Amino acid sequence: MKINQHQYINNVWKDYCVNTMLNNQKCQLVLAFGSSTLIVNPEIYNYLKNQYPSANIIFSSTSGEIIGRDVFDETIAVTAIEFENSTIQCSNTHIKKHKNSFECGAYLMQQLDKNGLKCIFVISDGTFINGSELVDGFNANNPHGITITGGLAGDGDKFTSTYTSINEIPGQGNVIAIGFYGYKLSVYHGSSGGWDEFGPERTITKAEKNMLFEIDGKNALDLYKEYLGDYVKELPGSALLFPLSLKIAGSDKNLVRTILSIDEDRKTMTFAGNLPVGSKVRLMKANFDKLINASSSAAQDAINHNEVQLAILVSCVGRKLVLNERTEEELAAAKEIFGNQTSITGFYSYGEIAPHVHGSQCELHNQTMTITTFSEN
């Protein structure tokens, strides 16, 4: 595996790390993670297509770009990959072509050749897609338990418009699945949160998909505000500091759900994933050291004693807003595990996709650091 990394910063292209052995004509995959205002510029796509004419060029807007151990805003982080013993196949669709996000995920899964498929990495629109339904669609057509990871595009902290694409100028509503093939390819993953739970465990008594109405028979928004104190004045932005821990009925695993918006008139809260009625929830709050240690834990789970050549980090915008000036510490924690030989890229997202533990189905996560690693033996 040969990797080039470039960065578009201050309206100038710069080489971040270049492998002189990489053949631009044979490069199969280019990942471009960048600001929603920059990646929609046709000149960006044209430049990358000229540099890597045979590659599948995949874009995602972000809430922050990751390259190496640094995080940037209003830039584009580009990683070009030439596989030596592996291949990729991509499928893509638009949400308007399907009845719902479930069918969107099911369709993408059907399009990929399953023979020799090692892993699927998903890049999804982050505003028009219901992430929970999307992963359910993938899982419904995944009888062989193929590992699925990825993330939902971001738009800073605005939650307005996200952009994704493959081999074209980015637009809204697109979802891309990248299938990785090859018996010499090793793919591992890790995902960890690091938030502290507090308060009593409660039960969701009224909800519709990702819209929450009642907890324990009481209005959820009013109940939530009781815990926020002075942070109530800063809603909905301050809600990123207090996500919900969700335990779905019949399951022993906890997921994290981020609040995307609130409706004061209807007294509802909209989350970045579904909240089934009967599920148990607890409030969560930030513990800075645990958030950073969670990044290290995710990296450790994703290394599996192999020398990692490429690590794709997808972390949540909520973590970035909480960590603030300490954000780069969670990247440094991951890089310390991988070492200098690993090329690192990624982005801050509106939702992370990964199995909860190795061997399980993929889930939609919020407020986690999720890492996928690739190596060719």
Task: Going from the first residue of the chain to its last (377 residues), give the mean pLDDT of each consecutive group of 10, the final group possibly shorter.
Answer: 97 96 97 97 98 98 96 98 97 97 97 95 95 95 93 90 97 98 95 91 95 95 87 80 87 83 89 91 90 95 87 95 92 94 96 89 93 94
Span 66-80, pLDDT tens digits: 999 999 999 999 999
Facing residues of 216 across strands? none
Cα–Cα distance for residue pair 342/84, rounded to 1 Å:
17
Q: Please give the structure tokens belonging to residue 38.
A: 């920059």
pLDDT confidence of residue 112: 96
**Residue 64 · residue 154 · CB < 8 Å:** yes
Distance between start and end Cα atoms, the chain: 9
pLDDT confidence of residue 226: 87
- For the chain, give the number of residues: 377
pLDDT confidence of residue 149: 98
pLDDT confidence of residue 234: 83
Percentage of the residues of the chain whose pLDDT score is greater than 70: 100
Model pTM above 0.85: yes
| Sequence-ordered strand ranges (E) for 62-111 | 65-67, 70-72, 76-82, 87-94
Q: How does strand 147-152 pair with strand 117-124? A: parallel
Which residue type is seen at 328?
E
pLDDT confidence of residue 260: 79
Q: What is the DSSP string of 123-138?
A: EE-SSSS-HHHHHHHH
Span 97-107, pLDDT tens digits: 999 999 999 99
Q: How does strand 351-355 pair with strand 362-365? A: antiparallel
